Chains A and B, each alone.
Chain A
Amino acid sequence: MSKIIKTLVAGTALTAASATIASAEGVELEVTHWWTSGGEAAAVSKFADAWNATGNTWVDGAIAGSGGTARPIIISRILGGDPMAATQLNHGRQAQELIEAGLLLDLTDVAEAGGWSDIVNPSSLLGACTLDGRIYCVPVNIHSAQWIWLSHDAYKNAGLDVPTNWHEFVASSGDLKAAGTLPLAMGQQGWQQNIAFGAVTLAVAGLDAWTEVNVNKNADVARGPEYTAAFEAVAASRALAAESNVQDWNQATNMVITGKAGAQIMGDWAQGEFAVAKAVEGQDYSCLPGLGLNAVLDTGGDAFYFPVNDDPEITAAQKELAALLISPEVQVSFNLAKGSLPVRGDIDMSAANGCMQKGLGILAEGGVLPSGDISFSQDTTLQIEDLMAQFWSSDMSATDAQAAYAKLIEDAD
């Protein structure tokens, strides 16, 4: 009983407190996002602290579950006339229709005042926020998918050297298998298999063919010999991952951490799992961007969008928050906690670990590609993921899969 009363009192006090803050000078902004794992929550608190330090209040609207769960909730709130003040989405085409419907705030003036076009690196990130010359979102980080994570333990047990690129990895897989280690850990979910497919394709088919298919949606190239080789390579890696029984990506990463599997192809967010397990880069595990062959990374990531609001006070605060999210100090603290790359090239990231440094080096050299979120609609992405799920978990031939893939590229929008 007393507990309930305490809760009520605390609740009243909180409401009173927040009411005072709001009336004092600051503005309460509700921010929705799906950063709920340990490392992610630590990262988002950097944003919240920075915003609270300006005298305003960050009302955290974390939505548990992945983006697939959170996005429909976020979108239906915006459509339903109950918009939050700001929300995370992946930049690219997820919000295109909301922008077209006039539901998201135009940030062009903030961007011009902050000189975003000069500081955002790679500039394609800002392009992903732009529709008809107007800017609608603020990119906050870059995540890339073309990484392979190798377990030193697994290779030590098999008496092998740790591979330095994809070809060496494939060559070593027989010995690894003989030593009783699964060569490739693979979560049995379409999106993970699609990431592996993308990474292997980029390494085997080469950058030109990849760009032609993924950016220009050229179905003829997808039917061509480069992609035939790529599909055969993916079919071969399917055999390497044949006994991988895990579903979630972090379970697969865990197999690499514990040395049960030799490697995993996964985005740079896998680094967070290694960090939590206190594994040391170069000593317990290695990371190879672009599978060690093509030093290029795609530039997916997160961005914040600001739904249109009637209240001019909130609109002003939204623009203030947008400028804050991309400011140098916030970018450094957020991205160090998140393990992602910053969206601006002019800040000091020397505190970052080896894998992040590799990524930063590639960014600085301009080895960047648009991500799937940018070039394909969600519809096409899901269709490709479905195909990959089918291809990886059945004995579908490489030829059939290539034909089906080319058809999807032909119909892609």
Chain B
Amino acid sequence: MTVASDSPHRRTKRPNRLFKNWMAKVASLPMIMTALFVFVGGTAWTVTYSFTGSRMLPKTKWVGFDQYERLWETDRWIISIKNLAVYGGCSLVLTLVLGFSLAACLDRKIRFESAFRTIFLYPFALSFVVTGLVWQWILNPDFGLQSVVRGWGWESFTFNPLNDPETVIFGLLIAGLWQGTGLIMCIMLAGLRGIDEDIWKATRVDGIGTVKTYVVVIIPMMRPVFITALVLIASGIIKLYDLVVAQTGGGPGLSSEVPAKYVIEYMFRAQNLGQGFAASTMMLCSVVIILIPWAYLEFGGRKRG
């Protein structure tokens, strides 16, 4: 009702809409400019130069799709993509499951909750480089976990993921989960605390079990929290780089290479900007392919509704 009575009044003001809140708009100009020039401009520049034969210095020597052809013929790039897919899939599922389970456990009003929360969140305070190095040592067969367990008398115990090309990516995954789960747990916990007590009372009256209540009632109610967590996890996966550099250096051989490392090494070590740009453009494409349909469903749908 109020909307209807307001609208003629708004319509008369419409020509001035650009100047509405002009102070705020002027204040945000620098940020808008930065976003346009640095992000949009930088992205456009990168994509453009991925079609050139630039080596150490950017040059406009057009080579068409040569860089992309070479990229997709390179074993290292294919291995990188596969590794990221395995790491990403496992990391996404496990972080959400573990994060939510931990949060649900803490939400059961246990003792020393804040102590546990701190312990679980603590790894997140470390940089990936530290995490990588620590886990490189823990997983080292000569003085890490394996030797400790063998020292306890279990002589045949073998746990050496980092030196086996087949399992190295799971060694990275362990470190990644150790670091990342705590934050997701905290976000989930905040979400759980936002659930009205009455919901719990209602389910109890209806005689629904605790686990079922979580799965059927609480999780659907926490949709925004899950989306926040999903974006955080996904961006962490795509930019996976420092953990690999610190923990395995991409080895053994090429078996733990990731796309971001390919980009950096071809841009700077190989002094081949064109190839690095082509690889980073492909990374952008993969993000866009996932992001656009999701954003359309998430935001476009709501607007229509």
Q: Tell me the complex Cα distance, A188–B165, Å.
A: 11
B249 interface neighbour in A98, A189, A378, A387, Cβ under 8 Å: A189
Q: Tell me the complex Cα distance, A101–B252, Å.
A: 38
Q: Using A68-B269, A386-B75, A390-B75 as known contacts, say yes or no to A377 and B251 having CB atoms under 8 A apart.
A: no
Contact A393 B271 (CB under 8 A): no
Q: Interface centre among A75, A101, A382, A404, by most B CB within 10 Å?
A: A382
Q: Using A97-B57, A245-B141, A382-B266 as known contacts, say yes or no to A390 and B271 having CB atoms under 8 A apart.
A: no
Task: Tell whether B147 is near chain A: CB-to-CB under 8 Å.
Answer: no
Q: Which residue of A lies closest to B75 (CB)?
A: A390
Output the least CB separation between B171 and chain A (Å): 13
Task: Tell whether A247 is near chain B: CB-to-CB under 8 Å.
Answer: yes
| Complex interface bits, B63-76 against A, C-beta within 8 A gives 1, otherwise 0 | 00000000000111
User: What residues of chain B lie closer than 8 Å to A97, measured between beta carbons?
Assistant: 55-57, 271
Q: Which residue of B lies closest to A395 (CB)?
A: B165
Contact B251 A71 (CB under 8 A): no
Contact B141 A98 (CB under 8 A): no
Output the least CB separation between B174 and chain A (Å): 18
Q: Which residue of A lies closest to B269 (CB)?
A: A68
Task: Tell whether A94 is near chain B: CB-to-CB under 8 Å.
Answer: yes
Task: Tell whether A72 is near chain B: CB-to-CB under 8 Å.
Answer: yes
User: What residues of chain B lie closer than 8 Å to A68, measured between beta carbons?
Assistant: 268-269
Task: Tell whether B131 is near chain A: CB-to-CB under 8 Å.
Answer: no
Contact A390 B253 (CB under 8 A): yes
User: What residues of chain A lie closer than 8 Å to B269, measured between beta carbons?
Assistant: 68, 71-72, 378, 382
Interface size class of A (residues with CB under 8 A): 20 to 34
Q: Tell me the complex Cα distance, A394–B252, Å.
A: 9
Task: Tell whether B255 is near chain A: CB-to-CB under 8 Å.
Answer: yes
A389 interface neighbour in B74, B251, B271, Cβ under 8 Å: B251
Main secondary structure of the interface of B (DSSP, over half): loop
Q: Using A188-B252, A386-B76, A390-B253 as known contacts, say yes or no to A379 and B55 having CB atoms under 8 A apart.
A: yes
User: What residues of chain B lie closer than 8 Å to A34, measured between beta carbons?
Assistant: none
Q: Tell me the complex Cα distance, A330–B15, Å.
A: 77
Task: Tell whether B138 is near chain A: CB-to-CB under 8 Å.
Answer: no
Which chain A residues (333-379) contact chain B, with CB distance < 8 Å? 377-379
Contact A98 B266 (CB under 8 A): no
Contact B253 A381 (CB under 8 A): no
Q: Which residue of A lies closest to B79 (CB)?
A: A390
Q: Tell me the complex Cα distance, A387–B74, Å.
A: 10
Q: Using A97-B55, A394-B165 as known contacts, say yes or no to A389 and B253 having CB atoms under 8 A apart.
A: yes
Contact A75 B56 (CB under 8 A): yes
Q: Interface centre among B251, B268, B271, by most A CB within 10 Å?
A: B271
Q: Tell me the complex Cα distance, A387–B76, Å.
A: 8
Task: Tell whether B275 is near chain A: CB-to-CB under 8 Å.
Answer: yes
B252 interface neighbour in A79, A381, A393, Cβ under 8 Å: A393
| Complex interface bits, B261-272 against A, C-beta within 8 A gives 1, otherwise 0 | 000011011111
Q: Which residue of B lies closest to A67 (CB)?
A: B269
User: What residues of chain B lie closer than 8 Å to A96, measured between beta carbons?
Assistant: 56
Task: Tell whether B81 is near chain A: CB-to-CB under 8 Å.
Answer: no
Contact A382 B163 (CB under 8 A): no
Task: Tell whether A306 is near chain B: CB-to-CB under 8 Å.
Answer: no
Task: Tell whether B254 is near chain A: CB-to-CB under 8 Å.
Answer: yes
Task: Tell whether A305 is near chain B: CB-to-CB under 8 Å.
Answer: no
User: What residues of chain B lie closer than 8 Å to A379, measured between beta carbons?
Assistant: 55, 266, 270-272, 275
Q: Tell me the complex Cα distance, A390–B256, Å.
A: 11
Contact A377 B271 (CB under 8 A): yes
Q: Which residue of B lies closest to A191 (CB)?
A: B269
User: What residues of chain B lie closer than 8 Å to A147, measured between beta carbons?
Assistant: none
User: What residues of chain B lie closer than 8 Å to A98, measured between beta carbons?
Assistant: 56
Q: Tell me the complex Cα distance, A400–B75, Å.
A: 12
A394 interface neighbour in B253, B265, B266, Cβ under 8 Å: B253
Q: Tell me the complex Cα distance, A386–B163, Å.
A: 17
Task: Tell whether A392 is near chain B: CB-to-CB under 8 Å.
Answer: yes
Q: Using A377-B271, A390-B75, A392-B253 as known contacts, say yes or no to A382 and B265 having CB atoms under 8 A apart.
A: yes
Q: Tell me the complex Cα distance, A25–B252, Å.
A: 54
User: What residues of chain B lie closer than 8 Å to A381, measured between beta carbons?
Assistant: 270
Q: Tell me the complex Cα distance, A220–B216, Å.
A: 66
Contact B254 A390 (CB under 8 A): yes
A188 interface neighbour in B55, B253, B266, B270, Cβ under 8 Å: B253
Output the least CB separation between A395 and chain B (Å): 10
Output the least CB separation between A137 and chain B (Å): 16
Output the least CB separation between B39 and chain A (Å): 20
Q: Tell me the complex Cα distance, A408–B249, Å.
A: 23
User: What residues of chain A lie closer than 8 Å to B272, measured between beta carbons?
Assistant: 378-379
Contact B249 A247 (CB under 8 A): yes
| Complex interface bits, A391-408 against B, C-beta within 8 A gives 1, otherwise 0 | 111100000000010000
Which chain A residues (64-109) contact chain B, with CB distance < 8 Å? 68, 71-72, 75, 79, 94, 96-98, 101
Q: Tell me the complex Cα distance, A377–B163, Å.
A: 31
Q: Tell me the complex Cα distance, A101–B248, Å.
A: 37
Q: Please name 27 pairs of A and B residues whose Cβ atoms are closer than 8 Å in the assembled complex, sorted by A.
A: A71-B269, A75-B56, A188-B163, A188-B252, A188-B253, A189-B249, A245-B160, A245-B163, A247-B248, A247-B249, A377-B270, A378-B270, A379-B55, A379-B266, A379-B270, A379-B272, A382-B269, A382-B270, A386-B76, A389-B250, A390-B75, A390-B254, A391-B253, A392-B253, A393-B251, A393-B255, A404-B75
Inter-chain pairs besides A188-B253, A189-B251, 13 sampled, C-beta below 8 Å: A68-B268, A75-B271, A96-B56, A188-B163, A190-B253, A377-B55, A379-B275, A386-B74, A386-B76, A387-B75, A389-B253, A390-B76, A392-B253
Listed in ascending order, the chain B residues whose CB lies under 8 Å from chain A are: 55-57, 74-76, 141-142, 160, 163, 165, 248-255, 265-266, 268-272, 275
Q: Which 9 A-B pairs have the closest CB atoms?
A: A393-B253, A72-B268, A382-B270, A97-B56, A393-B252, A379-B272, A379-B270, A188-B252, A389-B253
